[in-house]
Amino acid sequence: MRDRVIDGYRFEFDTKHEMYECRGQVCYDDYHDEVPEEKLWKATQKLAEELGTGWTAEHSEKGWVEVMKIPTIEDKIKLVKEQQAELNQLMENEGDPYGEFEEERKSECCGAKMIDDCDLCPECKEHTGQ
């Protein structure tokens, strides 16, 4: 995707977030809420319409408008799989970077599973020296 010009407004495409964005003047409605300038908002809606199904016009604060791709269930599944692959890669390369999957500790005296960081064996109540 590339940047687009609609009615004189330049919408830049953000590849990371799959959206177009443009900033105009800050305007206020009757309730003193920030809204985009009227012509920019119409251009935003026009761009969303040109892009077709799966795109929506939104506005935030400080005069910003966005035309965002609405993620499908397939997009969400793909994202979860990518995140899982990244986590798996981290685990393979660096072990447990977040300390979430600590190896199970066993006592030296009888091999019982250690319950916490304490070095007292839960079975025979002996200090394991770990």
Residue-wise pLDDT tens for the chain (130 aa)?
A: 789 999 999 999 999 888 999 999 999 989 999 999 999 999 999 999 999 988 999 998 888 999 998 888 888 898 899 999 888 887 776 655 555 555 566 666 666 665 665 566 666 666 655 4
- Please tell me whether residue 57 adopts helix, strand or coil conformation: strand
Is the distance from CB of 113 to CB of 104 less than 8 angstroms?
yes
- pLDDT at position 79 is 87
Q: How far apart (Å, rounded) are the C-alpha atoms in residues 97 and 90?
A: 7
- Please tell me whether residue 72 adopts helix, strand or coil conformation: coil
Q: How far apart (Å, rounded) are the C-alpha atoms in residues 70 and 55?
A: 6
Is 0.75 surpassed by the pTM of this model?
no
- pLDDT at position 87 is 85
- pLDDT at position 130 is 46
